[in-house]
Amino acid sequence: MVDCIFCKIVEGKIPSSKIYEDDLIYSFLDINPASKGHLLIIPKRHCENLNDLTNDELKAIFDLINKISNIIETVLETSSFNLLLNYGREAGQVINHIHFHLIPRKKDDGLAISKWPFMKFSGEHLNEIAKFFREKLEAS
């Protein structure tokens, strides 16, 4: 058994403010929200990365994101949100159970859009990287 806080939430061993649940996925409010209505969507089955997710789980996650995006304006008086996946430690993932953040946004909410520095690459370099990705995708 994996000692995973999200698995414990799904099992009901840790309380959560549940938004949605079906056979494949579970959604609940983040206990350390960046904004009002900040929620998480997770697969119920323990999955650490994208390759662990089934197509059905991915579809269920994105169907729910779509449904929630259609009601955010009514519930939270905004139609803006960030959809965030911190994938791996270097990207800020703290819990090793894949999870998607949906963070409602409002004008002047004080949240930074991005703190990343913008990089400059030559067109030739970008084309080399794109070619690498295309070749790997064609081979998969």
Catalytic residue check, 125: no
Q: Which residues, 6+ apart, have CB-to-CB distance to 8 below 8 Å?
A: 14
Q: Which residues, 6+ apart, have CB-to-CB distance to 25 below 8 Å?
A: 41, 42, 43, 44, 57, 60, 61, 64
SS3 content of the chain, % helix, strand, coil (to 5): 35, 20, 45
Catalytic residue among 38, 46, 97, 99: 99
How many angstroms separate the CA atoms of 12 and 60, rounded?
21
Active site residues: 99
